[in-house]
Amino acid sequence: MEYLVHGDLCYSTGPEHIETKENAYLHVKDGKCLAVYESLPSNCSALEIKDYRGKLVLPGMVDLHLHAPQYAYRGTKMDLPLLDWLNINTFPEEAKYRDTDYARAAYRNFVEDLKESPTTRAVIFGTLHKDATLCLMELLEESGLETMVGKVNMDRNSPEYLTEHSAEESLKNTREWLEEIPKNYRHCRPILTPRFTPTCSDELLLGLGKMMEEKGLPLQSHLSENKAEIAWVSELCPGTRNYGESYDRYGLLNHTVMAHCVHTGEEELDLLIERGCFICHCPQSNTNLQSGVSPVKHFLKKGAKLSLGTDVAGGANLSMFRALTDAIRASKLRNCLLEEHDSALNLEEAFYMATLSGGAFFGEVGSFMPDYEADFLVFSRKRQSVREESLLERLEMLLYTEKELFEMEAKYVQGRKIL
Ligand code: GUN
Ligand code: FE
């Protein structure tokens, strides 16, 4: 498989720069980007050309944190803080996924909508139910998206109707789930998923740490999202200096995405950086659940691995364009309200987080630089603009206005057209 994509290319090369190449060519071979050309090289004239002239071509969006079972009730009961929201809204809904028919119907809607969104890669929570999670993985594998999915672990402080009754039971369910994943899956892979420290016993976290190492698996969880949650963790885990240590003492930060980090202080941040842990910022969720505004610009300046997530259903929308601009909006509010001088993110930084920076959790993903996997989106304008616009302006308009001004015309993952 080898071809050229002819269009207006925009891609991040780092936190400070978006490369814009109008009327250019992206050379794709065996699912990867080979090069970008400003004009057609003579030795490429025999190659197939995908003609997207005049259209925006950008890397697929990478959503490093969302909950598939929460998609069906997104946008309901949004006026509760985290711990009440979990007890009143989330846990009763997630318990429904015990019924695999219900799960299949709900997950079909989720996967169809994710496929039609600008997201090409996602790291996803399921529920604690093995069969429902296998069903979600089957649908995602068929979708052509590149994903990681976790069966949730929770064995304490959970309602009787949504719990695993011991660490042993939770670890056994997890091993069975891993064994039942069909060996021929290429696009959907497992990720270990302790819900968060309050619902996971020490014995369970210890067991997951061993499993992570033994099987070479990545892990996802939640960290320092809400002040009441953090106070609870310090009670549950005497002897830890911060919430991050409740995971780190079992080796759980080494190949990991931690969602939120709204209230992460210097000591916890240094630990995450030292371990190479990905921080996943979820600005819409953090405002909906009144968790706070994460100091992400500071994280970026310190060199943390920073990504973006929708956190459906803490966030009500699947759109990573919305997450990207929400990150900018939230950081600007932080800048004004706390009278900080340099906490506002700009377009280049937020675009970097949604593509190249988050993409690194999957490898060389999220850009059109040589050797990056060829995940890309093609957008065309619904109506001809009356203005002269630079390519960077057109990209910014797409990210802020989404479907109002533009429509997605094609979506490719690893060079394969999936839409
Ligand atoms: N912390 C533990 N579980 C959850 C969840 O489902 N959503 C969010 N936003 N935070 C959590
Ligand atoms: Fe979450």
Beta bridge partners of 27: 4, 35
Count of helix runs (H) and strand runs (E) in the chain: 15, 17
Q: How far is Cα 270 from Cα 276, in angstroms, rounded to an integer?
A: 10
Is the backbone peptide bond immediately before 354 cis, with ω within 30 degrees of 0? no
Expressed in angstroms and rounded, the spacing between residue 65 Cα and the centre of ligand 2 is 6
pLDDT grade for 362, boundaries at 50, 70 and 90: very high
Closest atom of ligand 1 to CA, residue 311: 9
ipTM for the predicted complex: 0.99
Q: Domain 61-362: which topology?
A: TIM Barrel (3.20.20)
| Plot region of 62 (φ>0 → left; ψ -120 to 50 → alpha; else → beta) | beta
The residue whose CB lies within 8 Å of the most ligand 1 atoms, and thus the one to mutate among 88, 89, 90, is: 90
The residue whose CB lies within 8 Å of the most ligand 1 atoms, and thus the one to mutate among 200, 222, 230, 280, is: 222
Residues with CB under 6 A from ligand 1: 67, 82, 86, 90, 195-196, 222, 225, 285, 311, 314
Model confidence pLDDT, tens digit, residues 245-260? 999 999 999 999 999 9
Expressed in angstroms and rounded, the spacing between residue 416 Cα and the centre of ligand 1 is 33
Model confidence pLDDT, tens digit, residues 79-99? 999 999 999 999 999 999 999
Q: How far is Cα 170 from Cα 155, in angstroms, rounded to an integer?
A: 7
Homologous superfamily of the 2-59+368-417 domain (CATH)? Urease, subunit C, domain 1 (2.30.40.10)
Ligand closest to the CA atom of residue 223: 1
Residue 156's pLDDT is 98
Q: How far is Cα 94 from Cα 83, in angstroms, rounded to an integer?
A: 15
Ligand closest to the CA atom of residue 226: 1
**Residue 14 is encoded by which pair of tokens?**
């780092």
Mean pLDDT of 22-48: 97
* Amino acid, res. 327: A
**Residue 109 is encoded by which pair of tokens?**
């809607």
Question: Ligand 1 atom 3: the closest Cα is on which residue?
Answer: 195
Residue 1's pLDDT is 93
Query: Which residues lie at CB < 5 A from ion ligand 2?
Result: 259, 311
**Residue 323 is encoded by which pair of tokens?**
């997450």
What residue segments make up the domains of the chain, in order of their start? Answer: 2-59+368-417, 61-362
Expressed in angstroms and rounded, the spacing between residue 311 Cα and the centre of ligand 2 is 5
Mean pLDDT of 114-119: 98
Longest Cα pair distance anywhere in the chain, in angstroms?
A: 68
Same fold, 2-59+368-417 and 61-362: no
For 73-139, the DSSP string reads GTTSS-SS-HHHHIIIIIHHHHHGGGSHHHHHHHHHHHHHHHHHSSEEEEEEE--S-HHHHHHHHHH
Q: What is the pTM of this model?
A: 0.98
Mean pLDDT of 171-189: 98
Model confidence pLDDT, tens digit, residues 307-349? 999 999 999 999 999 999 999 999 999 999 998 889 999 999 9
Mean pLDDT of 215-232: 98
Residue 340's pLDDT is 83
